Homo-oligomer: A and B are copies of this chain.
Amino acid sequence: MTHPKSLPSEPVGELFKAAFRAHPAGVSIVTAMGPEGAVGLTASSVASVAVDPPTLAFSVTGGRSASHIAAAQTIVVHLIGADHLDLARTFADPGAPRFTDGMEWELLPTGEPLLTEAAWALRCEIIHRAPLGGSVLLAARVLEIRATPSGSAPLIYHNREFHTLLEGIPALG
C-alpha cells in the first residue's frame, strides 16, 4: 500500500457521464400498457438481481413512456440481440413511431405489448420503486419467459453507439 491520495475534485457530473459512456451495456426494450396505449423504451440498465425468485432491476428517466412504465403493474422486458438493432433504435428515439402495423408485436392475454421478434421476453411484475434524482429505479419479479433463440450476436451499447460482440475473442489473461 502506498501513501493515501485524494480523489481529484473535478466536476463530478461531467466525469460521471464520461465514465458511463465508456461502460458497455447490454440492450433491452421495456414495454407496458399505459393509460393511453402501448408504451416502450430502450434501456441499457437491465440487470439480474436474484435468481430465486427471478428478479431484475433497471431504471427509467423522464418522458411519457418512462412514467407510464414506472407506474405499470406489469411490464415485458425484451433482451435484444444484434439482429434487432432496428427495434433498439426505434425505442431509443422518442420521436419514432412504435407499435405500428409494420412492427411485429401483439398484446398478451394479460394485456402487455409483446415484441414477438425479441430473443427473450420476460413478463414481470414491478415489486419495488425508488425515485432517485429525476429517475426511478425499479425492481421486477419475473413471472413468465418466452425464449425465441435466434443465434444472434449480442448487442452492446458503448460510447453512444451500438456494437456487436464478436464471439471467439475472449479477453486475454
Report the count of interface residues on A (CB-CB < 8 A).
Answer: 90
Chain B residues near A109 (CB, 8 Å)?
4, 6
Q: Is the CB of B54 within 8 A of A12?
A: yes
Q: Is the CB of B128 within 8 A of A79?
A: no
- Count identical subunits in the complex: 2
Expressed in whole angstroms, the Cα–Cα distance for A13 and B55 within the complex equals 10
Interface residues of A (CB under 8 A from B): 1-10, 12-13, 15-20, 22-26, 28, 44-59, 61, 79, 81-82, 85-86, 89, 101, 105-109, 114, 116, 119-123, 127-128, 130, 132-135, 137, 139, 142-147, 154-156, 158, 161-166, 169-173
Chain B residues near A58 (CB, 8 Å)?
47
